[in-house]
């Protein structure tokens, strides 16, 4: 006969702990893929309204120009090689790549940065060519100066403080070699119109999130009516990213043998970063109301 364990008098059993309806099950990261795609499509539509035909529906800069066809063919062959290396079809490889945390993070941060910076900056995902061949995930274009102020490379980090030492060392080597290059970029002409243009000697920084950060960010970002707590999550993550950029810039300022053209672009980025930090402070203030 089984022995029943009877609680001591005065002890209370919280039956809600056994009520599955009161426990919110954490959704897998890939659950948010559809909402992220919709968010990027809306962002592209918003930017294209101001600067026509600049982004595709994935929020990427469109490849336009005399070498666009051959570069698109190169991208196709590179993806073919990636998929063959994993013994998958290209369709299978692309489907799996879509739901990888690194890709979901890139999509999410593009939307997050646009949310906070769209007044003063264009935030766009780099073309597939620049992603594969120049190691840049995103570019930020300053609407005031008309220049690409930086490129971002993103990483999911295991360090709880948000650092990514390997990525930081990789980007430091790139900076010492003269900076990042974007083949499919843009600048504003004197009429304030966006013109396609390659750009060299660009500052490049990394944006890092932990898996826990990503688990917090995705539901908050994809909620059409985020709660006060979710808004605080968005502000916290954006603020952390701004602080990380400031630290990375400070580290680069200690280098004495940088290309002078990169140094000039770093000075421009410093001025833009002050406006990014201002956006972060404004977000924090609004979250406290």
pLDDT tens digits in sequence order for the chain, 289 residues long: 444 444 444 444 454 444 444 445 788 999 999 999 999 999 999 999 999 999 999 999 999 999 999 999 999 999 999 999 999 999 999 999 999 999 999 999 999 999 999 999 999 999 999 999 999 999 999 888 788 899 999 998 888 777 788 888 898 899 999 999 999 998 888 787 888 999 999 999 999 999 999 999 999 999 988 899 999 999 999 999 999 999 999 988 888 889 999 999 999 899 888 888 887 776 555 555 5
pTM, two decimal places: 0.87
Describe the strand order of the beta sheet including 138-142 as a list of residue ranges: 121-125, 138-142, 148-156, 204-209
Give the structural domain span for 205: 27-284
Structure-token pair, residue 24: 């919110």
The pLDDT of residue 132 is 95
Look at residue 40 in the predicted model and tell me its pLDDT: 97
Q: Which residues contact 139 (CB under 8 A, 6 or more apart)?
A: 61, 123, 124, 126, 148, 150, 151, 152, 182, 185
Residue 5 included in any domain: no
> Do 277 and 121 contact (CB within 8 A), yes or no?
no
Q: Which helix (H) or strand (E) holds 183?
A: strand 180-188
- On whether residue 200 sits in a domain, the answer given is yes
Are the C-beta atoms of 111 and 40 separated by less than 8 Å?
Answer: yes
pLDDT at 55: 96
pLDDT value of position 13? 47
Cβ 88 vs Cβ 82: under 8 Å = no
What pLDDT is attached to residue 16?
44
The single residue listed with the structure tokens 């994935």 is 58
In a domain, 9, yes or no: no
Asked, for residue 34, whether it belongs to a domain, the answer is: yes
Specify the length of the chain in residues. Answer: 289
Q: How many domains does the chain have?
A: 1
Residue 194, in any domain of the structure: yes
CA dihedral 6, 9, 11, 16 (to 10 degrees): 60
Would 41 be classed as within a structural domain? Answer: yes
1 in any annotated domain: no
Q: In this predicted structure, what is the pLDDT of residue 124?
A: 96
Contact assessment for residue 141 and residue 202, using Cβ atoms and an 8 Å cutoff = no
Q: How many CB atoms lie within 10 A of CB 121?
A: 21
> Rounded distance, CA 154 to CA 51, Å?
26
Q: Quick check: is 268 in a domain?
A: yes
């Amino acid at each position: 006969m089984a022995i029943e364990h009877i609680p001591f008098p005065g002890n209370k059993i919280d039956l809600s702990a056994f009520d599955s309806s009161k426990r919110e099950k954490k959704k897998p990261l890939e659950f948010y893929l559809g909402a992220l795609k919709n968010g990027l499509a809306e962002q592209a539509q918003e930017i294209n309204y101001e600067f026509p035909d600049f982004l595709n529906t994935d929020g990427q800069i469109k490849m336009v120009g005399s070498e666009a066809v051959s570069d698109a063919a190169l991208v196709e062959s590179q993806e073919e090689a990636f998929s063959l290396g994993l013994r998958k079809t290209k369709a299978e490889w692309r489907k799996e790549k879509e739901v990888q945390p690194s890709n979901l993070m890139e999509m999410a941060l593009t939307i997050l940065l646009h949310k906070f910076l769209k007044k003063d900056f264009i935030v766009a995902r780099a073309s597939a060519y620049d992603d594969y061949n120049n190691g840049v995930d995103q570019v930020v274009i300053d609407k005031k100066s008309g220049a690409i102020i930086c490129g971002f490379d993103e990483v999911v980090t295991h360090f709880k403080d948000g650092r990514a030492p390997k990525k930081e060392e990789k980007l430091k080597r790139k900076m010492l070699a003269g900076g990042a290059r974007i083949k499919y970029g843009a600048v504003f002409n004197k009429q304030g119109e966006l013109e396609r243009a390659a750009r060299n000697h660009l500052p490049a920084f990394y944006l890092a999130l932990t898996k826990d950060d990503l688990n917090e960010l995705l539901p908050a970002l994809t909620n059409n009516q985020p709660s006060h707590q979710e808004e605080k999550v968005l502000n916290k993550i954006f603020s952390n990213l701004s602080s990380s950029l400031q630290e990375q810039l400070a580290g680069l300022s200690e280098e004495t043998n940088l290309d002078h053209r990169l140094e000039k672009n770093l000075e421009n980025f410093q001025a833009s970063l002050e406006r990014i930090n201002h956006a972060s402070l404004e977000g924090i203030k609004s979250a406290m109301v």
